[in-house]
């Protein structure tokens, strides 16, 4: 098991700020290049159906401009599959998407949509894209992700983070235990394990310490923290906490 854990930096909320004023700045590509310079191992961007933050032109610019791998987050729709197959990013992370949600609220129901997702994922994998399913720690969802041919799962850490910030430490620790078991189970099935959602300086350590987790994807907190410390220092500090957790 490799000791190092990759950090993917999600730059969606640079685009959120840009779009709030209909301006051309701040530029998500500039943020991605700064993140790359600060040691990010990958850039994550979510092209939502409603284009509320990242837009099609941002994906063009990121594909052309960054050297580290792009993790293209997307819903399992025909439109997004066409875009992914046009760009062939390093990875696609398939996420559930509801128009009315503020952010990705839960994991995918892979087990309940097995046949469609098997057909959906196949052309992406054939094109050489690493396909990741964003799911909770339920063993049935982990097994289903392996069954449909995805190479990677990304475990949703949002509930764990919410429990931590609510001060419900008993429930938080139970959720951590379930995430730990899920990561070990997925690894035993040959899936590469990633994790993300809601992670902060306060919550990253126990997740980063899980040896099977090869990559964390973090966005909102890093972009928020950049207001106070700058993006580079925020990424450097997160990286330091991840490395310390790995021992
Ligand atoms: N991973 C996935 C699959 C996500 O949907 C998101 C949010 O876009 C993240 C990671 C990053 O979450 P956050 O912005 O809360 O750090």
Q: Which of 71, 76, 103, 134 has most ligand 1 atoms within 8 Å of its beta carbon, as the pocket-test mutant?
A: 103
Is the Cβ–Cβ distance between 15 and 54 less than 8 Å? yes
Between these two residues, 4 and 26, which has the higher pLDDT value? 26
Within a domain: 98: yes
| pLDDT-based confidence at residue 131 (cuts at 50, 70, 90) | very high
Separation between Cα atoms, residue 103 and residue 96, nearest integer Å: 10
90 is catalytic: no
Q: Is the CB of 72 under 6 A from ligand 1?
A: no
Tally of structural domains, the chain: 1
Full DSSP string of the chain: --S--EEEEE-HHHHHHHHHHT-S-S-HHHHHHHHHHTT-SEEEEE--TT-SSS-HHHHHHHHHH-SSPEEEEE-S-HHHHHHHHHH--SEEEE----TT-SS--S----GGGHHHHHHHHHHHHHTTPEEEEEE-S-HHHHHHHHHTT-SEEEEE-HHHHHHHHTT-HHHHHHHHHHHHHHHHHHHHTT-EEEEESS--TTTHHHHHT-TTEEEEEE-HHHHHHHHHH-HHHHHHHHHHHHHHHH-
Catalytic annotation present for 194: no
Task: Give domain status of residue 221, yes or no.
Answer: yes
Task: Taking the CA atoms of 207, 209, 212 and 217 in sequence, report the sign of the dihedral they define.
Answer: positive
- Has 197 been annotated as catalytic? yes
Backbone angles phi, psi at 16, to 5 degrees: -60, -45
For range 68-76, the mean pLDDT: 98
Residue 170: partners with Cβ closer than 8 Å, 6 or more residues away = none
- CATH (domain of 46): 3.20.20.70
Tell me if 1 is assigned to some domain: no
Check 137, 164, 194, 197 and give the catalytic one.
197
Report pLDDT for 106: 77
Taking the CA of residue 10 as reference, the ligand 1 atom at the shortest distance is: 11
pLDDT beyond 60 at 3: no
* 41-61 per-position pLDDT tens digit: 999 999 999 999 999 999 999
In this prediction, what percent of the chain has a pLDDT beyond 90?
Answer: 94
Q: What is the pLDDT of residue 20?
A: 96
CA distance 27 to 17: 9
Q: Which domain holds residue 52?
A: 6-246
Of 10, 53, 94, the residue with max ligand 1 atoms within 8 A of its CB, to mutate for a pocket test, comes to 10
CB atoms within 10 A of CB 18: 20
196 lines ligand 1 (CB under 6 A): yes
**In this predicted model, what pLDDT tens digit does every residue of 80-104 receive, in sequence order?**
999 999 999 999 999 998 766 666 6
């Amino acid at each position: 098991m490799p000791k190092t854990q990759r950090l993917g930096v999600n730059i969606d909320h640079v685009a959120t700020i840009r779009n709030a004023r209909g301006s051309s700045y701040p530029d998500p590509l500039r943020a991605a290049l700064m993140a790359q310079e600060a040691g990010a191992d990958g850039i994550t961007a979510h092209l939502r159906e409603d284009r509320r933050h990242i837009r099609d032109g941002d994906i063009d610019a990121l594909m052309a401009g960054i050297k580290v791998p792009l993790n293209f987050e997307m819903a399992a729709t025909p439109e997004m599959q066409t875009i992914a197959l046009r760009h062939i990013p390093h990875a696609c992370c398939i996420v559930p998407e509801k128009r009315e949600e503020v952010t990705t609220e839960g994991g995918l129901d892979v087990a309940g949509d097995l046949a469609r997702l098997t057909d959906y994922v196949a052309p992406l994998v054939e094109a050489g894209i690493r396909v990741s399913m964003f799911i909770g720690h339920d063993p049935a969802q982990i097994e289903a992700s392996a069954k449909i041919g995805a190479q990677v799962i990304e475990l949703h850490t949002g509930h764990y983070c919410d429990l931590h910030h609510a001060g419900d430490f008993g429930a938080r620790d139970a959720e951590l235990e379930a995430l730990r078991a899920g990561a070990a189970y997925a690894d035993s099935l040959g899936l590469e394990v990633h994790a993300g959602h809601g992670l902060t300086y306060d919550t990253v350590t126990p997740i980063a310490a899980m040896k099977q987790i090869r990559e964390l994807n973090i966005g909102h907190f890093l972009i928020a923290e950049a207001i106070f410390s700058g993006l580079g220092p925020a990424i450097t500090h997160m990286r330091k906490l991840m490395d310390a957790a790995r021992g």
